[in-house]
Amino acid sequence: MMDRKDNNLTVETIFQPVQLGPIVLRNPIIKAATSEGRSPEGKVTQALIDFHRGFIEGGIGMTTLAYCAISKEGFAAPGEILMVKENMGGLKKFTEAMHEAGGKASAQLGHAGPVATKKITGVRPIAPSRFFNLTSLQTCRAITLKEIEQIKVQFADAAEVAVEAGFDAIELHFGHLYLVSSFFSPWLNKRTDQYGGSITNRTRFAKEILLAVKERIQDRLAIIVKLSMDDGIKGSIWLDESTETARILDETGAVDAFELTMGSSVSNQMYLFRGETDIDGMAATQKGIMKLGVKWFGRKILGEYPYKDLYMLESARQFQTVVKKAKLILLGGINNFEHIAIAKQEGFSLVAMGRALLREPDIIQKMRTHPYKTGLCIHCNKCMFSVYSTTNCVFTKDYATTSQVALG
Ligand SMILES: Cc1cc2nc3c(=O)[nH]c(=O)nc-3n(C[C@H](O)[C@H](O)[C@H](O)COP(=O)(O)O)c2cc1C
């Protein structure tokens, strides 16, 4: 249930422990997923552990290991984790290190679907229906019913790996037009079977994955669903339908919290990030004619949106009356103590922070002593394209330059 609105918030009351399904976080701050790129073989490395330990030592409640693909075909960028039993040794070392540092660990599980590229996965990407992705210049093929069944099992298998590895939570990536959220979108989902048509049908795949995961793991860890409220693309998902998806998923009782997000990794990417559009950064990820293409058309493809603090708040409020069982996590432009206080005051149980923590891993510790300190992240978004090497804020020294050799 939503926490009741509270008008008497101080550093002490805000950083109180929070119950999240079967676990308790020492405070309501979650490090949002920022595809780390420190796993060249798809496995945990010391560099990855050190990177996350920095956030826990810096005072957050729980970090999110991201992005963890449920299969090799589900990778979105290089150096991501493959969430399979073979990688258990390193995953266990990861959770042990987070617990030792005093925090909790969540793993973001997903399949990139139309966001994937053949260059990274070695196979043609899949989507609910055949689709040409203008960002990657690739045609996705329509996923078959047999593959839908396989992917449900892969999600449940990956969740079980998370349990065995000692994670406290998993975050199902149902956002950003990755595979599952591409089913919600009438723009990408033209299916005429039980997975297409009405919003109930377009939510079916997500609901079946959620239930398969819950059945497998029961209450052994918390389940977070990262859900897109609004894709920022004409003809795709918007609040009228995403609130219905949230209602359907919430009704199952299997979701402990929704982390509400927006935007897409398929097109108009800046709708998610807001702030400076880093064309040079995007061009640097490409070669030859593609590099030129990015310089000419990048701004049009990525879009341009000014940064605003708490930019997802207005949309996220819409979910407060719809979601009755799960807690809500506010995300997007949370940079200062005041933003966390506003989120709590508005009735959000938890907050997730991405770029502010990349810039200052110890921002929460600093807030405890200086609540009026302004966060240093300027939303230049130069971190955005660092996901193609090792994700980092360009203004922060890489505090995790340790080994990128697989730990097992
Ligand atoms: C470098 C970078 C990598 C990201 N990678 C992921 C990811 O792997 N999965 C995901 O769901 N979101 C990802 N995001 C989005 C963030 O989780 C978050 O939704 C977004 O940055 C807005 O929050 P913020 O304003 O606190 O940064 C990424 C963001 C950044 C900046």
Give 10-residue mean pLDDT values along the chain (408 residues). Answer: 54 94 98 94 96 97 98 95 98 98 98 95 97 91 98 98 98 98 98 98 98 98 98 97 98 98 94 91 81 82 92 98 98 97 97 97 94 92 89 78 77
Distance 261 CA to ligand 1 centre (A): 9
User: What's the CATH code of the domain at 156?
Assistant: 3.20.20.70
Question: Quick one: pLDDT at residue 7?
Answer: 55
Residue 14, ligand 1, Cβ within 6 A:
no
305 belongs to a structural domain: yes
Question: Quick one: pLDDT at residue 1?
Answer: 36
Residue of 30, 31, 35 with the most ligand 1 atoms within 8 Å of its CB, for mutation = 35
5 belongs to a structural domain: no
152 belongs to a structural domain: yes
- H or E stretch at 170: strand 169-174
**Which atom of ligand 1 is found nearest the CA of 381?**
31
Q: What angle do CA 223, 70, 408 make, to 5 degrees?
A: 100
404 belongs to a structural domain: no
Task: Provide the domain limits for residue 178.
Answer: 11-388
And the tokens for 39? Answer: 């796993």
269 belongs to a structural domain: yes
Residue 267, ligand 1, Cβ within 6 A:
no
C-beta separation of 327 from 336 below 8 A = no
- How far, in Å, CA of 294 to CA of 287, rounded? 10
Question: Quick one: pLDDT at residue 4?
Answer: 42
311 belongs to a structural domain: yes
406 belongs to a structural domain: no
Of 294, 306, 291, nearest to 381 by C-alpha is 306
Tally of domains within the chain: 1
Distance 145 CA to ligand 1 centre (A): 30
Distance 176 CA to ligand 1 centre (A): 10
Distance 203 CA to ligand 1 centre (A): 23
Residue 260, ligand 1, Cβ within 6 A:
no
Residue 66, ligand 1, Cβ within 6 A:
yes
From the candidates 67, 178, 307, 388, give the one annotated as an active-site residue: 178
Whether 388 is catalytic: no
316 belongs to a structural domain: yes
Question: Quick one: pLDDT at residue 285?
Answer: 80
Residue 112, ligand 1, Cβ within 6 A:
no
pTM, entire model: 0.95
Residue 32, ligand 1, Cβ within 6 A:
yes
Q: Which alpha helices (DSSP H) does 58-172 contain, by range?
A: 88-100, 118-121, 145-165
